[in-house]
Amino acid sequence: MSSSELKLAPQSQRQADAGTIQVVSFRLAHEEYGIEITKVQEIILVGEITRVPQTSPYIKGLINLRSTVIPIVDLRLRFGMSEEAATDETRIMVMNVGGKTTGIVVDAVSEVLRISKDQLAPPPPTVSGLGRDYLTGLAKLEKRLLILLDVDRLLSEVSTAPGMVA
Residue 87's pLDDT band, with cuts at 50, 70 and 90, is: very high
The more confidently predicted of residues 92 and 30 is 92
pLDDT at 149 over 80: yes
User: Which of these ranges, 73-77, 122-126, 128-132, has the smallest mean pLDDT?
Assistant: 128-132
Fold that domain 5-158 belongs to in CATH: OB fold (Dihydrolipoamide Acetyltransferase, E2P) (2.40.50)
Q: Give CA–CA dist 51/71, Å, rounded.
A: 10
Q: How far is CA 100 from CA 40, 133, 153, 165, 166, in A?
A: 12, 20, 13, 11, 9
Q: Mind listing the pLDDT tens digit for each residue in 100-126?
A: 899 999 999 999 999 998 898 887 776
Q: Write out pLDDT tens, residues 41-72.
A: 999 999 999 999 999 899 999 999 999 999 99
> Where is pLDDT greater, at 146 or 14?
146
Q: Mapped to the 3 state alphabet, what secondary structure does 46-80 carry? A: CCCCECCCCCCCCEEEEEEECCEEEEEEEHHHHCC
Show Cβ contacts of residue 99 under 8 Å, excluding neighbours closer than 6 positions.
Answer: none
